[in-house]
Amino acid sequence: MSGCTFAEKALARAAGLPAVRAGDIVDVTPDVVLSHDNSAAIRRIFAETGAPRIAYPDRVVITLDHAVPAPTSRHAQNHAEIRQWVQEQGIRHFFDVGRGICHQVLGEEALILPGETILGADSHTTHHGWLGAFGAGVGRTELAALWATGQLWLRVPEAARITLTGRLAPGVTAKDVGLRLLREIGADGALYRSLEFAGDALSALSLDERAVLPNLLAESGAKNVYLPPDQAVFDYLEPRRTRDYVPLYPDPDATYVADYHLDVSDLPPQIALPHRPDQVVDLGDVLGQPVHQAFLGTCTNGRFEDLQAAAQIVRGRQVRCRLLVIPASAQVLRQAVQTGVLDTLLAAGATISTPGCGPCMGNHMGVPAPEEATISSGNRNFRGRMGTPDAPIYLASPYVVAASALAGCIADPREYLS
Amino acid sequence: MITLHRCWVYGDDVNTDVIFPGKYTYTLTAPDELAAHALEDLDPAFAQEVQPGDVIVAGRNWGCGSSREQAVTALKAAGVAAIIAASFSRIYFRNCINQGLLPIVCPELHRLVRTGDQIGIDRAAGQIVLQDGRVFPIPPLSPSVQAILDAGGLLPMLQRRFKGGA
């Protein structure tokens, strides 16, 4: 009998079973249950279930991030309902307006740890694979069920392996790797699968960069995405964690239904064209396309190193189109202030908004006009995603977003890196 | 029993942003409000002309993208009786089950019917029947998943557990 994949080991642990296999359907008890601005809608479903209280309030994390600060009184009412609920149920892990995007905040607070399982009412819950956790998105009714019972059924996914080798060239980032993989795998190539990374290129990536991969690869249809945690992850967690953990690694003889390999050494910057995250080409193929707005932020690329990368490009220069900077968290914002990165961005003509999701899903803070093109460091460019159906969205790395802001058109950041 | 359904046919990789735009997700809650915006950025005619009992027939990866459940509830509120796709994104598939809306995986159908065509669905026999007599199987679900669908969705199932059979 062959060995186990990460997904098989993680879901066996979460289900309290000695072993599970791909295809099994198991009832798991996740370590963390995540929701955000949708918590008010989930509360209303929960109220209908008849459950007396949240079963495990200490496992519940709620972050207000999707439309913050409230753009309308209806959004404000939604937030107020959530605050009241949090108080009623004694939910300790509540993060109010401005603390940051849920996935980023969970990492900063070390609320999810290697080998653990997190289910979230957010499709980018795959994000938490950056530190070796099993993270998967679920729907609102399922989240209500998790509050009520602490449990949910999951099918143990088949796994595919992605081996990354080599070293990235200057001006090329994990975002370019992720986009290149989406180009190869496609929007449904990893449907229902656990994507499990391997290879010596991973340990060379900073922790900020590692988080890009499991976040962005949600766009391949994957159920969860896993990076093997190493000493850098353990060192990061040590001063922050409040409980013990056991990291999980796939067995060397685990069964994979697909095997991808990418040598990142010769990879040029990549860009996703409107209106699909997997419609990816080499940046060089679309240089000069006009851009009216550049957006640096989101759970994919709104971390400190992303702001730092953009600052490196725009230092001493002036943007030629709107550059919106929305840090992924208050902590990122403070670090950008303390290091002078924010000042560099502002001096170049950037503007800044409250940490959170910003205009990523079209709520506010940078909705484009019809026909206006946006280049975004985010993960989705579906038609209408940013609130306007006829506004094209390109997805690229923070370097490319910053260079394009300077040029007013899609530009190669390597020309600005000295 | 065979029930007859009018088809709305769409392609591959239809994402939840065009099924139900993100800008409405924290403000619209009433079923008729959701239904009014169903497929708004994909097919503006849909919300105007959809009738109870209609079905969606789509290509691969229907419902990719955001986890928003309104991408299912908006269609259900609009009267959609089933969604038949070559494949479903995983969260969308779960959301269908949890809302008691039958998701049917059928790789061929979107190539064989056009918007406005009628098809028959025989749930008891587990079959889709075309007007020319061709028949396609409805793949069985695992017993635990079928039980949720049979209960009318996850919420009725939870109500049974906590309220003892509401």
Domain boundaries of chain A, sorted by first residue? 6-262, 273-415
Mean pLDDT computed over B14-26:
91
* Res. B165: pLDDT tops 90: no
With a pLDDT cut of 70, the percent of chain A lying above it is: 100
The interface residues of chain B toward chain A in range 63-82, judged by CB-CB distance below 8 A, are 64-69, 72
Interface size, chain A vs chain B, as Cβ–Cβ contacts under 8 Å:
135
CA distance A324 to chain B (A): 19
Q: In whole angstroms, what is the distance from residue A284 CA to residue A270 CA?
A: 8
Residues of B in contact with A392 (CB under 8 A): none
Neighbours of B3 (CB within 10 A): 13
Of B72, B94, B163, the CB nearest to A50: B163
Of A140, A148, A383, the CB nearest to B69: A140
Level-2 CATH architecture, domain A273-415: 2-Layer Sandwich (3.30)
Among B26, B76, B93, pick the best mutation site for testing chain A contact (most A Cβ within 10 A). Answer: B26
* Res. B166: pLDDT tops 50: no
Helix, strand, coil in percent for chain B, rounding step 5: 35, 20, 45
Residues of B in contact with A385 (CB under 8 A): 17, 22
Q: In whole angstroms, what is the distance from residue A220 CA to residue B15 CA?
A: 12
Fold match between domain A6-262 and domain A273-415: yes
Cis peptide preceding A275, ω within 30 of 0 = yes
Asked whether A358 and A297 are in contact (CB, 8 A), the reply is: yes
Q: In whole angstroms, what is the distance from residue A332 CA to residue A325 CA?
A: 11
Rounded to the nearest 5 degrees, what angle is found at the Cα of A13, between the Cα atoms of A11 and A16? 105
CA dihedral (A49, A50, A55, A61) in degrees, to 10, reads 50
* pLDDT, position A260: 98
Asked whether A157 and A7 are in contact (CB, 8 A), the reply is: yes
CA distance B61 to chain A (A): 6
Q: In whole angstroms, what is the distance from residue A268 CA to residue B90 CA?
A: 32
DSSP structure string for A291-304? -SEEEEEHHHH-SH
* Res. A23: pLDDT tops 80: yes
Q: What is the pLDDT of residues A78-127, one digit of tens each?
A: 999 999 999 999 999 999 999 999 999 999 999 999 999 999 999 999 99
| Beta bridge mates, B9 | B57
Residues of A in contact with B163 (CB under 8 A): 50
Q: Looking at the complex, does the CB of residue B91 fall below 8 Å from at least one CB of chain A? A: yes
Q: Looking at the complex, does the CB of residue B115 fall below 8 Å from at least one CB of chain A? A: no
Max Cα distance, chain B (Å)? 47
Neighbours of A23 (CB within 10 A): 10
Task: Give chain A's mean pLDDT.
Answer: 97
Among A123, A147, A298, pick the best mutation site for testing chain B contact (most B Cβ within 10 A). Answer: A123
Q: What is the pLDDT of residues A381-410, one digit of tens each?
A: 999 999 999 999 999 999 999 999 999 999
Asked whether B7 and B57 are in contact (CB, 8 A), the reply is: yes
For A6-262, CATH gives 3.30.499.10
Q: In whole angstroms, what is the distance from residue B121 CA to residue A319 CA?
A: 58
Cis peptide preceding B21, ω within 30 of 0 = no
CA distance B1 to chain A (A): 31
In chain B, how many domains are there?
Answer: 1
Rounded to the nearest 5 degrees, what angle is found at the Cα of A367, between the Cα atoms of A320 and A278? 85
Among B15, B60, B73, B145, pick the best mutation site for testing chain A contact (most A Cβ within 10 A). Answer: B15
Mean pLDDT computed over A2-10:
97
CA distance B36 to chain A (A): 17
Mean pLDDT computed over A174-203:
97
Mean pLDDT computed over B28-57:
94
* Res. A233: pLDDT tops 60: yes
What the block records as the tokens of A277 is 């995250």
Rounded to the nearest 5 degrees, what angle is found at the Cα of A286, between the Cα atoms of A283 and A289? 125
The answer, yes or no, to whether ipTM is higher than 0.95 is no
Q: Is the dihedral of CA A2, A224, B100, B129 positive or negative?
A: negative
User: Which CATH number covers residue B83?
Assistant: 3.20.19.10
pTM: 0.96
DSSP structure string for A335-352? HHHHTTHHHHHHHTT-EE
B/e letters for A237-276, b = 16+ CB within 10 Å, e = fewer, are: beeeeeeebebbbbeeebbbeeebebebeebebbbbbbbb
| Chain A residue at shortest CA distance from B143 | A25
Domain hosting B112: range is 2-163
**Residue recorded with tokens 């590692």:** A210
Distance between start and end Cα atoms, chain A: 54
Mean pLDDT computed over A310-315:
98
CA dihedral (B41, B47, B50, B53) in degrees, to 10, reads 90
Element (H, E) at A375: strand A374-376
Least Cα distance to B87 among B63, B116, B69 occurs for B63
Q: In whole angstroms, what is the distance from residue A49 CA to residue B53 CA?
A: 27
In a 13 Å sphere around the CA of B10, the CA atoms on its Cβ side amount to: 26
Q: What is the pLDDT of residues B68-99, one digit of tens each?
A: 999 999 999 999 999 999 999 999 999 999 99
B/e letters for B89-119, b = 16+ CB within 10 Å, e = fewer, are: bbbbbbbbbbbbbbbbbbeebbebbeeeeeb
